[in-house]
Amino acid sequence: MTAPDVHIGEPGEQLFVLLSAERGLRRGIVKLIWKTLAPALVGAVVLVAGCARPMSPGRQPAPGDPNVLTVYVACAFVPAVEAVRGKFEAANAGKSVKVDGGAPDTLVKKIEDGATPDVLILLGEAEFGLLEREGFMDPSLRKGVGAFKAVLATPASKPAVSGISALTSDAVKSIAMPTSGTTSLGTDAEHSLARLGVWTKIQNKLVIHPRQSDTMAVLAKGEADVGVMYDPCPYLRLEGKVPTGSVKPGGALNQSSTRVTRLQMGIHKKSPRAGLARRFIEFVSSNESQVDLAAGSAAAGDADPEDSD
């Protein structure tokens, strides 16, 4: 067989071919490096963006291990739950609890994507209600503790807002709040402001953020005139995003109502450790544990007092 003629070309053409091949090789190397490092970089961004402790998928125990409980916790409450975890393990020999912290929407997405933590702990109703409607969490096994109220909040660098009526004044140009419907605080804030007759009047002032931690960070920087937060607010202790004293709590949004928001705890329907999960939730609901929760960042209070609204 005769080998085909190969045209090498002039020296200039040869140089062009060599440079093109080198550029192609460099692009291939960059793609390989990005494919290898991207998951780690994304995890690092999530850590910086709003949680003091990243999610650790590899830490989830095997489904058949009856002694290791996995608990997903909104990152602002990780210190509080860690304080209770140690006492629970001491009181239950041979049992251990793995606490994974993350932003509420991140935890919800992980469960929707197939993760099966034994226990989920989040502040408020919206996120839990979504997972219950989707069939992931058992509504009959949910329990609420603590007492949180939605209140106005102002940056320390700006004048405090005197009351709800001030939201419609010319002095207030921007109002920061998290998304309604997908976050509990945003949902509670819209509900209360609508009842007070000001919700439709402030639409052009609203600056909506996907997370409560984002709203708090904006207020801490003085980038909005006023916002909303829960009182007590665990996000006031969120390192790196909300410096101490940078945000001031104000009046409650629902002053004419006794409605409060609770720290919600529930059990995944597919948890193979439902019995141990119930024992953990009962332990967290005890009066002694609620003192630890209050010290850690959550609010202590009666487990399930009646609400009226």
Same domain, 173 and 133: no
Same domain, 139 and 155: no
Asked if residue 40 belongs to a domain, the reply is: no
Same domain, 242 and 168: yes
Q: State residue 47's pLDDT score.
A: 37
CA distance linking residue 267 with residue 251, whole number of Å: 34
pTM of the model: 0.72
Same domain, 103 and 191: no
User: 32 and 81 in contact (C-beta within 8 Å)?
Assistant: no
CA distance linking residue 74 with residue 79, whole number of Å: 10
Asked if residue 130 belongs to a domain, the reply is: yes
The domain that holds 160 is classified in CATH as: 3.40.190.10
Same domain, 248 and 165: yes
User: 55 and 263 in contact (C-beta within 8 Å)?
Assistant: no
Asked if residue 204 belongs to a domain, the reply is: yes
34 CB contacts (<8 Å, ≥6 apart)? none
Same domain, 235 and 283: no
Same domain, 82 and 123: yes
The count of domains in the chain is 2
Same domain, 140 and 156: no
User: Would you write out the chain's pLDDT as a tens digit for each of its 309 residues?
Assistant: 444 444 444 544 444 444 444 555 455 544 443 444 344 333 333 333 345 444 444 344 555 688 999 999 998 888 889 888 999 999 999 999 999 999 899 999 999 999 999 999 998 889 999 999 999 998 998 998 888 888 899 999 998 887 888 999 999 999 999 999 889 999 999 998 998 899 999 999 999 999 888 999 999 999 999 999 988 777 766 556 777 788 988 888 766 554 678 889 999 999 999 999 999 999 988 877 765 665 554 433 333 333 333
Domain around 231: 147-252
Same domain, 131 and 151: no
Same domain, 70 and 88: yes
| Element spanning 194, H or E | helix 184-195
Same domain, 156 and 206: yes
Domain boundary pick from 200, 232, 252: 252
User: 264 and 137 in contact (C-beta within 8 Å)?
Assistant: no
CA distance linking residue 243 with residue 247, whole number of Å: 8
